[in-house]
């Protein structure tokens, strides 16, 4: 896996139930499965940055190549590989024309319940980033030789077949196949944690912090809440955030609030008071001071400049 320099995601970033499906026309199912080619071929092999409000997504690439944008970081993707995308994390892709793989999109709450059946593994749903699949011949813990890439490919294919069909017990079968995939992703993620050591752990915590802020920024939770969620002290969380983003954890939260305020002021006709309330500011005057402090101008001045 290789990493490229961070880039800034420019507004607007649309929020979908599933690909191309606005929240007003939300998909009724808790799970969606489709081949990467089925969707990306319609858009010249590029899926523009977007996010999903309530869905956790797994991208599986078996062959071909791709580039992913997750949050503000670009990744070059070489198969076999999984890409984990939590709810509300902005993401986009550019695929090669020979891409082979699937996109699985599940309601976060349903995935949480499935993982709860297997133990305390719900932390997987906060992970954002690629997970390389080991090639054949990897020796698993107490399981002998395993081809985990082939196992996951088979599980993804089985889920896709079940999703396309209408056999009795379809719902239970979909849950079973998804749980196999989630457990495999969890095991690989935990193995990567052990192999990359402390530096990798700091990077994962930074990505988890970003995912939590993207999910909860409208509630304006205290930084202590995020530290408790991640099992670290506030001091350590700030150190991690500065190393990864150049900002304290509070600075990261404030930047997220400012960006959303700028998008609302630019792309909606909401009154400034309504924008403030939607972002968790009970006092519109305080929101105006917050905006002016970080943007250098008032919300109304910003909106006039945007035309």
Residues 136-177: pLDDT tens digits?
A: 544 444 444 457 888 899 999 999 999 999 999 999 999 999
18: confidence class by pLDDT, cuts 50, 70, 90 = low
Query: Using CB atoms within 10 A of its CB, is residue 294 exposed (0-12), middle (13-18) or buried (19+)?
Result: middle
The total domain count for the chain is: 2
Instruction: Quick: pLDDT tens for 234-262.
Output: 999 998 888 777 789 999 999 899 989 98
Same domain, yes or no: 272 and 199: no
Residue 224 lies in a domain: no
pLDDT of residue 93: 95
In CATH, what number is assigned to the domain containing residue 288?
Answer: 1.10.10.60
What mean pLDDT, rounded, does the chain reach? 83
pLDDT at position 24: 39
* CATH code of the domain in which 183 resides: 2.60.120.280
H helix or E strand, kind and range, residue 249: helix 249-267
200-214: pLDDT as tens digits? 677 778 888 988 998
Full domain range(s) for residue 43? 2-219
Which of 219, 238, 260 finishes a domain? 219
Task: Judge if 142 and 206 occupy the same domain.
Answer: yes
Residue 46 inside a domain? The answer is yes
Confidence of residue 278 (pLDDT cuts 50, 70, 90): very high
């Amino acid at each position: 896996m290789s990493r490229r320099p961070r880039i800034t995601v420019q507004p607007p970033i649309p929020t979908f139930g599933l690909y191309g499906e606005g929240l007003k026309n939300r998909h009724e199912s808790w799970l969606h499965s489709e081949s990467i080619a089925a969707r990306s071929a319609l858009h010249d092999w590029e899926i523009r940055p977007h996010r999903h409000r309530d869905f956790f997504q797994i991208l599986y690439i078996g062959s071909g190549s791709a580039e992913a944008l997750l949050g503000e970081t670009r990744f070059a993707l070489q198969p076999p590989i999984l890409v984990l995308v939590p709810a509300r994390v902005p993401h986009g892709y550019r695929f090669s024309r020979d891409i082979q793989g699937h996109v699985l999109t599940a309601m976060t709450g349903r995935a949480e319940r499935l993982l709860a059946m297997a133990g305390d593994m719900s932390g997987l749903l906060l992970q954002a980033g690629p997970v390389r699949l080991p090639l054949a011949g990897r020796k698993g813990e107490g399981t002998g030789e395993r081809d985990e890439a082939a196992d996951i490919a088979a599980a993804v294919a089985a889920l896709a077949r079940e999703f396309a069909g209408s056999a009795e017990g379809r719902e239970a079968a979909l849950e079973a196949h998804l749980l196999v995939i989630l457990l495999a992703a969890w095991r690989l993620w935990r193995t990567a944690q052990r192999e990359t050591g402390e530096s990798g752990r700091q990077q994962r915590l930074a990505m988890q912090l970003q995912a939590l802020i993207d999910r909860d920024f409208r509630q304006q939770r205290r930084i202590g809440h995020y530290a408790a969620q991640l099992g670290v002290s506030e001091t350590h969380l700030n150190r991690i955030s500065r190393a990864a983003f150049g900002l304290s954890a509070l600075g990261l939260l404030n930047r997220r609030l400012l960006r959303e305020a700028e998008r609302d002021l630019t792309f909606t006709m909401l009154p400034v008071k309504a924008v403030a309330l939607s972002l968790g500011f009970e006092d519109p005057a305080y929101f105006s001071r917050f905006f002016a402090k970080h943007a250098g101008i008032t919300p109304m001045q910003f909106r006039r400049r945007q035309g």
